[in-house]
Amino acid sequence: MLRVSVQVGGVWVQVMCDDSILHARQLGQSAIARSGRSLQGTFKLRRCVDGAPLSQDEAVRKALCNNDFVDLVMDGDAWSFPTGPVFAAAQTSWKEPAEYIALDGESLTTDDLVRLGKGLLKIKLTKEAEKKVCDSRAVIDQIIKENRVVYGINTGFGKFAQTMVSPDQLKELQDNLIRSHSAGVGVPLTPERTRMLLALRINVLAKGYSGVSMETLNAIVAAFNASCLSWVPEQGTVGACGDLAPLAHLMQGLMGEGLMWSPRSGWAPAKAVLEGNGLTPVILKPKEGLALINGTQMISSLGAEALERAQAIARQADIVAALTLEALKGTGKAYDKDIHAVKPQPGQMEVAFRMRSVLPSSLYPSEITGGDYERVQDAYTLRCCPQVHGIANDTIAFVKRILTTELNSATDNPLVFAERGITISGGNFHGEYPAKALDFLAIGVHELASISERRIERLCNPSLSELPAFLVREGGLNSGFMIAHCTAAALVSENKVLCHPSSVDSLSTSAATEDHVSMGGWAARKALRVVEHVEQVLAIELLAACQGLEFHRPQKSTAPLEQVHKLVRSVVGPWDKDRAMSPDIEAAHKLLREEKVSDLFTLKNYCRTSSRTLFGTISYFIMTVRY
Q: Write the DSSP symbol of residue 500.
A: S
Q: What is the mean pLDDT of residues 486-514?
A: 92
86 located within any domain: no
Q: Is the pLDDT of residue 605 over 70?
A: no
Range of the domain at 33: 2-80
Q: Are 175 and 126 in a shared domain?
A: yes
Q: Tell me the C-alpha distance between 310 and 438, whole Å.
A: 11
The answer to whether the CB of 208 falls within 8 A of the CB of 135 is yes
Q: Tell me the C-alpha distance between 260 and 276, whole Å.
A: 12
Of 598, 488, 584, 601, nearest in space to 543 by CA: 584
Q: Are 559 and 618 in a shared domain?
A: yes
What integer pLDDT is reported at residue 304 of this predicted model?
98
What integer pLDDT is reported at residue 161 of this predicted model?
77
565 located within any domain: yes
What integer pLDDT is reported at residue 607 of this predicted model?
39
Task: Give the model confidence (pLDDT) of 404-422 as tens digits.
Answer: 999 999 999 999 999 999 9
Residue 335 a catalytic site member: no
Beta strands 2-8 and 68-74 are: parallel
Q: Are 541 and 435 in a shared domain?
A: yes
Q: Is the pLDDT of residue 269 over 80?
A: yes
Q: Tell me the C-alpha distance between 355 and 359, whole Å.
A: 6
* More confident site: 393 or 37: 393
Q: What is the CATH number of the domain that holds 44?
A: 3.10.20.90
170 located within any domain: yes
Q: Are 121 and 43 in a shared domain?
A: no
What integer pLDDT is reported at residue 88 of this predicted model?
62
87 located within any domain: no
111 located within any domain: yes
Strand ranges, E, within 26-134: 43-47, 53-54, 68-74, 100-103, 122-125
376 burial type by CB count under 10 A (0-12 exposed, 13-18 middle, 19+ buried)? exposed
Q: What is the CATH number of the domain that holds 124?
A: 1.10.275.10
Is the bond preceding residue 228 a cis peptide, omega within 30 degrees? Answer: no
Q: What is the mean pLDDT of residues 553-573?
A: 97
- Which range (80-89, 298-307, 381-390, 429-438) has the least confidence? 80-89
What integer pLDDT is reported at residue 179 of this predicted model?
95
The two most distant CA atoms of the chain are separated, in Å, by 87
Ranked by mean pLDDT, the top range of 63-67, 210-214, 619-623 is 210-214
Q: Is the pLDDT of residue 612 over 70?
A: no
Task: Give the model confidence (pLDDT) of 331-370 as tens digits.
Answer: 999 999 999 999 999 999 999 999 999 999 999 999 998 7
Q: Are 247 and 348 in a shared domain?
A: no
Task: Give the model confidence (pLDDT) of 29-77 as tens digits.
Answer: 999 999 888 887 889 998 887 778 899 999 999 999 888 889 898 887 7
What integer pLDDT is reported at residue 89 of this predicted model?
64
Strand ranges, E, within 249-325: 259-262, 266-269
Q: Are 189 and 59 in a shared domain?
A: no
Q: Are 153 and 216 in a shared domain?
A: yes
Q: What is the pTM of this model?
A: 0.87
Phi/psi for 403 (5° steps) reads -70, -35
CB atoms within 10 A of CB 79: 14
351 located within any domain: yes
The answer to whether the CB of 81 falls within 8 A of the CB of 260 is no
85 located within any domain: no
Q: Are 235 and 362 in a shared domain?
A: no
Q: Are 229 and 311 in a shared domain?
A: no
Beta strands 122-125 and 100-103 are: parallel
The answer to whether the CB of 141 falls within 8 A of the CB of 211 is no
Q: Is the pLDDT of residue 475 over 70?
A: yes
Query: Structurally, how many domains does the chain consist of?
Result: 3
Q: Is the pLDDT of residue 610 over 50?
A: no
Q: What is the CATH number of the domain that holds 486?
A: 1.20.200.10
What integer pLDDT is reported at residue 621 of this predicted model?
38
Q: Are 356 and 411 in a shared domain?
A: yes
What integer pLDDT is reported at residue 615 of this predicted model?
27
Q: Is the pLDDT of residue 216 over 70?
A: yes
Buried b (16+ CB within 10 A) or exposed e, 190-218: bbbbbbbbbbbbbbbbbbbbbbbbeebbe
Q: What is the mean pLDDT of residues 69-95?
A: 71
Task: Give the model confidence (pLDDT) of 101-132 as tens digits.
Answer: 999 999 999 999 999 999 999 999 999 999 99
One DSSP character per residue, 35-57 reads HT----S-EEEEETTT--EE-TT
The residues with which 269 forms a beta bridge, in sequence order, are 259
What integer pLDDT is reported at residue 279 of this predicted model?
95
* More confident site: 242 or 567: 567
Q: Write the DSSP symbol of residue 335.
A: G
* More confident site: 77 or 470: 470
Q: What is the mean pLDDT of residues 608-616?
A: 33
What integer pLDDT is reported at residue 440 of this predicted model?
98
Q: Are 503 and 354 in a shared domain?
A: yes
Which helix (H) or strand (E) segment is 290 a member of?
helix 288-293
Phi/psi for 6 (5° steps) reads -125, 130
CB atoms within 10 A of CB 225: 17
370 burial type by CB count under 10 A (0-12 exposed, 13-18 middle, 19+ buried)? exposed
Q: Which of 151, 209, 335, 627 is catalytic?
A: 151
The answer to whether the CB of 402 falls within 8 A of the CB of 527 is no
496 located within any domain: yes
Q: Which of 259, 294, 329 is the last residue of a domain?
A: 294
Q: Is the pLDDT of residue 618 over 60?
A: no
What integer pLDDT is reported at residue 85 of this predicted model?
58
The residues with which 208 forms a beta bridge, in sequence order, are none
Angle at the Cα of 111 (from 110 to 115), degrees rounded to 5? Answer: 115
Strand ranges, E, within 366-432: 415-417, 422-424
Task: Give the model confidence (pLDDT) of 164-200 as tens digits.
Answer: 888 888 889 999 999 999 999 999 999 999 999 999 9
Q: Are 43 and 110 in a shared domain?
A: no
What integer pLDDT is reported at residue 183 of this predicted model?
94
